[in-house]
Amino acid sequence: MRQILTVLLCVLSIQTVLAEKEYLIDFHDDSTQYTNLGFFIQEVTDHRKDKDNIGYVWAGFFEVKRPVNFKSGLESSFKNYLSNLISFKDGSIPIKIRIRELLISERDFGFYQEGYCQLVMEYFDSGENLLYMTDYSDRFTALDPSKKHEESIRRLINKSILAFSLYDNESKIYKDLLDQPRLYDSLILCSVPQKGFYANFKEFQANNPSLTLDFETITVEEKGNKYGNIRFPESPIDVNTLFELIYGFSDGVNIYLKRYHSDYSYSIIPVQISGRYCYMGKKPVNQAVPIILPGLFGILSLPVEEDYILDVNTGGEYLLNDETLLRLLKPYEDLYNAYVMRPPENRIEMGLFWLQQINKKHFESLQ
């Protein structure tokens, strides 16, 4: 018994020692280098609310939760990396960057682990005037995500820099966006969407695309839905690279958003019903089907397509099913009563009708 207790104490002491150590990220130079951006990074400052670390990873044989920091400090690491990434040339404009949010995390699913990273960067001129803000995130799976976080952060920095380079600072529209108290009302109340590319979800909410590159949309039909192909008269950037940066876009009539099929695979789909809740078409989901045979019982996961919607207030996505409609209809007594009076097996057949009624009620409440 004494030996068992001794072993347990040793294990606990080892875990305690491991937990106290930090996992340090050491930024390495990127093979990519931008030579014609017209600006250089003068300063990088850490404006996060919590500056203790940038998150936690599972490390070591015992998979101890360990805090993560940069080997040379966040500000110094970012400044050195950006200085190597962006070459200075005569006439370049000095830009100051504030790191508003940087968070990494890992989740352990047993057979594999999932890594996550979010980076929010703000751009200021030398007079401390806010020019732009980017909010990008990255999710990936790996056997050892800890070794992938540096790559993930560098990828988000590159996306942020490219998005800022495409923004017209003279337009000042990004400052207008951030001054709006309730962003999503702007999309709901607008008669037509503004033409341009949304760099993030907030721009979509505010009907305020910050990337107003010249383009035209070619509408095509695919499985009964209208999709849009993009044509640039003069493209300042590779189209595939641009689509990696955006949340979606509008051609001035329709809105198109990205639907992710995996970490790196996506398609551009039209928003078919807009309002507080946007109908986003069919989404593949896995449905559990019980398999019962003589002497055998199991669960088979089959892919099926279900309708789903997007909440433009939160960005949350929900299946358009009976449970969701009951929750959304509850604030509107007349609609709720009319819905529950229908036979349960027939309610969802008119799901789009009820979604339109909810959007109509919400629109009237904003008038």
Q: Which helix (H) or strand (E) holds 58?
A: strand 56-59
Q: Which helix (H) or strand (E) holds 13?
A: helix 2-20
Within this chain, do residues 161 and 189 fall inside the same structural domain, yes or no?
no
Mean pLDDT computed over every residue of the chain: 81
Query: By the 8 A CB rule, do 78 and 112 touch?
Result: no
Q: 263 — phi, psi (to 5°)?
A: -60, -30
The pairs formed by 151-155 with CB atoms below 8 angstroms and a separation of 24 or more are 152/104, 152/115, 152/117, 153/25, 153/102, 153/104, 153/117, 153/119, 154/27, 154/30, 154/81
How many residues does this entry show for the chain? Answer: 367
Three-class secondary structure of residue 212 per DSSP = coil
CA distance 153 to 30: 12
Q: 203 — phi, psi (to 5°)?
A: -70, -35
Within this chain, do residues 222 and 317 fall inside the same structural domain, yes or no?
yes
Question: Nearest CA to 23 among 56, 1, 48?
Answer: 56
Tokens 């504030």: give the residue: 98
Q: What is the pLDDT of residues 97-143, one digit of tens each?
A: 999 999 988 887 666 778 889 999 999 998 898 899 999 998 888 77
User: What is the reported pLDDT for 2?
Assistant: 52
- Residues in the chain predicted with pLDDT less than 70, given as ranges, are 1-20, 59-63, 109-111, 220-228, 235, 261-264, 283-304
Within this chain, do residues 178 and 251 fall inside the same structural domain, yes or no?
yes
Domain C-terminal end among 133, 166, 199: 166
CA distance 106 to 116: 6
Within this chain, do residues 137 and 186 fall inside the same structural domain, yes or no?
no
Residue 348's alpha-carbon distances to 5, 304, 324, 353, in angstroms, are 60, 16, 10, 9
Domain C-terminal end among 139, 166, 193: 166
Within this chain, do residues 149 and 265 fall inside the same structural domain, yes or no?
no
Which residues span the domain enclosing 56?
A: 13-166
Within this chain, do residues 73 and 158 fall inside the same structural domain, yes or no?
yes
- Whether 331 is covered by a domain: the verdict is yes
CA distance 117 to 54: 9
User: What is the reported pLDDT for 17?
Assistant: 42
- Whether 224 is covered by a domain: the verdict is yes
CATH of the domain at 123: 3.40.50
User: What is the reported pLDDT for 43?
Assistant: 93
- Global pTM reads 0.78
CA distance 60 to 336: 54
Three-class secondary structure of residue 144 per DSSP = coil
User: What is the reported pLDDT for 192?
Assistant: 87
Q: 229 — phi, psi (to 5°)?
A: -95, 150
User: What is the reported pLDDT for 346?
Assistant: 77
Domain C-terminal end among 142, 166, 190: 166
Three-class secondary structure of residue 286 per DSSP = strand
One-letter amino acid of 32? T
User: What is the reported pLDDT for 33?
Assistant: 82
Within this chain, do residues 182 and 45 fall inside the same structural domain, yes or no?
no
How many structural domains comprise the chain?
2
- Whether 7 is covered by a domain: the verdict is no
User: What is the reported pLDDT for 134?
Assistant: 92
